[in-house]
Amino acid sequence: MTALTLSTAAAPGLRADAIVIGVAKGAGSSSGDLVVAPGGEAVEAAYDGRLADVLETLGASGAEGEVTKLPAPSGFKAPLVLAVGLGAEPGEDAEYGAEALRRAAGAAARALAGAQKAGFALPVADAAGVGAVGEGALLGAYAFTTYKDTGGNGGAKNGKAPLAEAVLLGAKPRDKAHKAAVERAVAVAEELNRARDLVNMPPNDLNPQAFAAIAQAAAKEHGLKVQVLDEKALAKGGYGGILGVGSGSASAPRLVKLSYTHSKAAKHLAFVGKGITYDSGGISLKPAGHNETMKCDMSGAAAVFAAVVTAARLNLEVNVTGWLALAENMPSGSATRPGDVLRMYSGKTVEVLNTDAEGRLVLADALWAASEENPDAIVDVATLTGAMVLALGTRTFGIMANDDAFRGAIQEVAEEVGEDAWPMPLPEHLRKGMDSATADIANMGERMGGGLVAGLFLREFVGEGITWAHLDIAGPAFNEQGPFGYTPKGGTGSGVRTLVRLAELTAAGDLG
Ligand code: BES
Ligand code: MN
Ligand code: ZN
């Protein structure tokens, strides 16, 4: 991954491939005009104060994500200046926001793919700004190149290697808060990028066993406790939901439990992730056009995995248990049929009316297992319904919960870390649509409000009295459009930063 370093060098003296500066749409008297953001002073001075004019001549406007390249002025060791748009300049006495910095750093880092080293001279006012630029650069530089040849053809034909080193200028290498912000940015970005890798990995290589093995290796590396239930253990334990979903596949399902504990922890969080390594729909097969990206159906489990490892790397004073419900949903002679009844881990029976509503079945078992430990709160993360994508679009995840305050807190946390999220209700009247003539509940209900129906189903498998929230990340988990800000095409790592921040705030006693 891209390395992140701090330097006290002035921009002209940095030996690098490029110097990144910020530009914005001016506020106040320069309203609408392009302005050079703090950090770009040295470049501006070398251009005799004409930098804004030069950039406007090149077509720059300061719009968010806009990238303009120009030759560095004489006296600079780097050959290139890259001006990245920050959007609107903040009003008087206000600073550039963390998300604007993250996005700008991300867009710049992505535009520098193939380069060795770039200096980031963006407007960082404090440690939070340092963290934001660092995180944005590391996330924006990400590229999934495992299956591409980045060595030959000068990288022209296949993938370009990501920017090798991002140097933060204007940060103080000896300042404790600045150093901590960089360390946090590196841990979050490395683990989030690892989650992206897992999502992008083709499903013929990432099956439930492979995912479980990766979790075991990470647990060893970071001193986590890990327990993997294979198909035999799942059968012995009565995990009918996970087994029922996995029964059609040649790759057997797994339930992975990852535990991070801190000796001074006062609280215990449980994170539960949907880990369908490929969702064909099963016997209720998805038509062509709906299955090409379904390797992304383990994004929830990838987010949970990344969050637990990050909590460990940051040594947070909170206990965090991650549950990865891993299965491949395939049609075959041994697959669950529409009409089958599964006996779930909780003891409830479920009539499977549609084998494509599989996520709620694996989550139900994992939620019940998580509930047995009576954690202070459970948060599940899942690419659960197409209905949520229709409702909120492709960049926003829905939050449902059995506790209004907890749902609100998660929305605030998401906003703080730069994830778009919106609260969704769990209307009681939708429950009766899942009444089954044969079993305790059916895995399908009314089509209208399908995302909320799924949430209501999950709620039935949360232990009595436990605070629970459900994040439906079906929209933002996988970006099928072009990259933007620090978000690449493909796996995005949706949910990771919200879970990590939730753990941090819980550790600090600022939540619940
Ligand atoms: N994995 C899908 C949901 C999904 C859709 C994720 C689009 C990402 C992008 C899920 O398992 C599914 O198939 N849900 C069905 C439920 C229905 C059969 C009740 C859906 O949303 O159509
Ligand atoms: Mn499905
Ligand atoms: Zn699915």
Domain chopping of the chain, boundaries: 3-169, 193-508
| Atom 9, ligand 1: residue with shortest CA distance | 474
- Residues with Cβ < 8 Å from 301, sequence gap 6 or more? 211, 273, 274, 275, 324, 325, 326
Return the ligand 1 atom nearest residue 329 CA: 11
Band of residue 511 on the pLDDT scale cut at 50, 70, 90:
confident
d(CA 319, CA 339): 40
Output the average pLDDT for the chain.
96
What is the helix, strand, coil percentage profile of the chain, to 5? 35, 20, 40
Give CA separation, 308 vs 191, 254, 270, 392, 407, in Å: 9, 18, 10, 27, 20
pLDDT tens-place string over residues 239-295: 999 999 999 999 999 999 999 999 999 999 999 999 999 999 999 999 999 999 999
Closest atom, ligand 1, to C-alpha of 284: 18
For the segment 160-182, the average pLDDT, to the nearest whole number, is: 94
Average pLDDT for residues 380-397, to the nearest whole number?
Answer: 98
> What's the rounded mean pLDDT across residues 295-319?
98
The pLDDT tens digits of the residues spanning 12-66 come to 999 999 999 999 999 988 888 999 999 999 999 999 989 999 999 999 999 999 9
- The span from the CA of 421 to the CA of 497, in Å, is 12
CA pair distance 219, 101, nearest whole angstrom? 33
**Hey, what are 108's tokens?**
């710049």
Cα of 151 to ligand 1 centre, how many Å?
A: 38
From 353, 355, 385, mutation site for ligand 1 pocket: most ligand atoms within 8 A of C-beta: 385
Q: How far is the CA of 424 from the centre of ligand 2 (A)?
A: 21
Contacts of 74 (CB under 8 A, 6+ apart): 46
* 360 is an active site residue: yes
Q: Give the per-residue pLDDT at 156.
A: 47
Asked if the model's pLDDT at residue 396 lies above 50, the reply is yes
- Indicate the pLDDT class of residue 377, thresholds 50, 70 and 90: very high
3-state secondary structure of 53: helix
* pLDDT at residue 259 in the model: 98
* Closest-approaching ligand to the CA atom of 325: 3
Which of the ligands is closest to the CA of residue 388? Answer: 1
493 vs 171, more confident: 493
CA angle 5, 7, 12 (to 5 degrees): 125
**Alpha helices, DSSP H only, in 352-449?**
359-371, 386-392, 404-417
**Active-site hit among 286, 343, 348, 489:** 286
Phi first, then psi: give them for residue 442, nearest 5 degrees: -100, 160
Whole-number Å distance, alpha carbon 511 to ligand 1 midpoint, is 32
Per-residue confidence at 403, pLDDT binned at 50, 70, 90?
A: very high
**Annotated catalytic residue 225:** no
Ligand 1: which of 384, 452, 456, 471 to mutate, most ligand atoms within 8 Å of CB?
Answer: 384
- CA-nearest residue for atom 7, ligand 1, is 386
CA-proximal residue: ligand 1, atom 5 (nearest): 386
H/E stretch holding 34: strand 34-36
Neighbours of 408 (CB within 10 A): 13
Show the tokens assigned to 86.
């920050």
Please tell me the distance from the alpha carbon of residue 230 to that of residue 465, in angstroms, as a whole number.
30
Nearest-atom number in ligand 1 for the CA of 290 is: 7
Q: State the pTM of this model.
A: 0.97
Q: Measured in whole angstroms, how far is the alpha carbon of residue 321 from the centre of its chain?
A: 18
pLDDT of res. 355:
98
DSSP for residue 82: E
**Which band of pLDDT confidence, cut at 50, 70 and 90, is reported for residue 309?**
very high
Ligand nearest to the CA of 445: 1
Those residues with Cβ within 8 angstroms of residue 32's Cβ, 6 or more apart along the chain or in another chain? 25, 26
The neighbouring-strand residues paired with 471 are: 381, 399
Looking at the CA of residue 276, tell me the nearest atom of ligand 1.
Answer: 1
Q: Output the CATH code of domain 3-169.
A: 3.40.220.10
Location of structure tokens 């029922």: 244
Q: Look at residue 28 in the predicted model and tell me its pLDDT.
A: 87
Residues 6+ apart with CB under 8 A from 434: 441, 442, 443, 444, 445, 453, 456, 457
In this structure, whether the domain defined by 193-508 belongs to CATH 3.40.630.10 is answered with yes
- Is the confidence at residue 351, as pLDDT, over 90? yes
* Ion ligand 3 neighbours, Cβ < 5 Å: 276, 279, 297, 359
Sheet with 441-442, strands from edge to edge, namely 341-343, 349-351, 441-442
> 450: CA distance to ligand 1 center in Å?
9
Question: Could you say which of 103, 360, 407, 497 is catalytic?
Answer: 360
Residue to probe by mutation, ligand 1, list 245, 356, 390, most atoms within 8 Å of CB: 356
Residue 3 CA to its chain's centroid (Å): 20
Atom of ligand 1 nearest to the CA of 443: 19
- Spell out which residues line ligand 1, taking CB within 6 angstroms: 279, 297, 354, 356-359, 383-387, 389, 444, 450, 474
> Residues 318, 507: contact at Cβ < 8 Å?
yes
Question: Using CA atoms, how far apart are residues 134 and 184, in angstroms rounded to an integer?
Answer: 9
Which of the four pLDDT bands, split at 50, 70 and 90, describes residue 320? very high
Calpha distance 103→419 (Å, rounded): 12
Collapsing DSSP to helix, strand or coil, 200 comes out as: helix
Phi, psi of 407 (to 5 degrees): -60, -45
Ligand nearest to the CA of 453: 1
Q: State the first-to-last Cα distance of the chain, in angstroms, to the nearest integer.
A: 35
